[in-house]
Amino acid sequence: MNGKKMNKIFFSLALLTPIFSVNAAELSGHIGFTSDYRLNGQSQSAGHAAAQGNLNLQFESGIFLDMFGTSVDFGPGDDATTEIDYAIGYKGALSDELFYGGYLSYYTFPGRDTPFGGDFAEITAVLAYKHMTATYSYTDNNFDLDQKLSKVGVDLNYPLSDTLTLDLHASHNFGSGVEGLYGPGNDNYQDYAIGLTKSISELDFSVAYIINNLPNSAIEDFDDNTLVFAISHSF
């Protein structure tokens, strides 16, 4: 399946989403700031701070819609300043502690005019048990460059108290999308994170150390191991 077909599938699913009454849906979201927007262990903001927010509409049927926005900076020669992502998915339960689901995401970069890449779609499968979540994501058109990228990840968000959570993350990233960025022979890497999230009143404060084993990047601050701070408000 090529990238254009994946994009068409995303928009077809969005149009086929049933219309539910407002009473059958719950709207939630968050706004916040991070000292460095990291995705798959790599900076999407050139090591700089980013403003972020999202909206999520969850229906009683298990279907959900999500929109995420953030500021971005991909370095010299790339004019992208904003990323807006859309997702449609489903979440179901096998028991009170075991959940499954999946979603189709569409990443967009409004106004981006560069040969370094563009909008693309990605599909993700999810399995969660208690405080642990496993995911598998795949795209055959990473950043609209006709390159494949797969990601297998595990996250643990373990409550140490009513207001303090231990956050652990590990993922394996592989495919021609990695080789396209870092050259022949570099077709996979791993990224890890360890952090804490503290809730105070209506704010969440988090700190995490991000680690990866990527080869040296041609652009400084994009794949350095780093400490990331974030603050957010959920509603």
Exposure on the CB side of residue 5, measured as CA atoms within 13 A: 5
Nearest to 145 by CA among 38, 44, 3: 3
97-102 average pLDDT score: 98
**47 dihedral zone (left: phi>0; alpha: psi -120 to 50; beta):** left
pLDDT value of residue 117: 76
Beta bridge partners of 202: none
CA gap 210, 228 in Å, rounded: 7
* Long-range residue pairs from 212-215, CB within 8 A, at least 24 positions apart, any chain: 212/41, 212/42, 213/189, 214/41, 214/42, 214/182, 214/186, 214/189, 215/182, 215/183, 215/186, 215/189
pLDDT value of residue 77: 82
CA gap 9, 121 in Å, rounded: 9
118-131 average pLDDT score: 97
Q: How confident is the model at residue 215 (pLDDT cuts 50, 70, 90)?
A: confident
Tokens of 31: 């706004």
174 with 139: CB under 8 angstroms?
A: no
65 with 19: CB under 8 angstroms?
A: no
pLDDT value of residue 214: 82
Residue 11 pLDDT exceeds 90: no
Beta bridge partners of 89: 64, 103
8-22 average pLDDT score: 52
Residue 6 pLDDT exceeds 90: no
pLDDT value of residue 182: 80
How many Å is the Cα radius of gyration of the chain?
18
pLDDT value of residue 111: 83
Residue 13 pLDDT exceeds 80: no
Tokens of 150: 């797969």
Residue type, 140: D
Residue type, 132: M
Looking at 33-37, 148-152, 157-161, 180-184, which range is the least confident one? 180-184
160-166 average pLDDT score: 98
Residue 4 pLDDT exceeds 80: no
103 with 87: CB under 8 angstroms?
A: yes
Nearest to 63 by CA among 27, 29, 99, 25: 25
Residue 2 pLDDT exceeds 60: no
Nearest to 38 by CA among 209, 166, 158: 209
187-192 average pLDDT score: 94
Quickly count: other Cβ atoms within 10 Å of residue 1's Cβ: 11
pLDDT value of residue 61: 94
Average confidence score pLDDT of the chain: 89
pLDDT value of residue 112: 85
What is the set of domains in the chain, with CATH numbers?
Answer: 3-234 (2.40.160.40)
pLDDT value of residue 181: 78
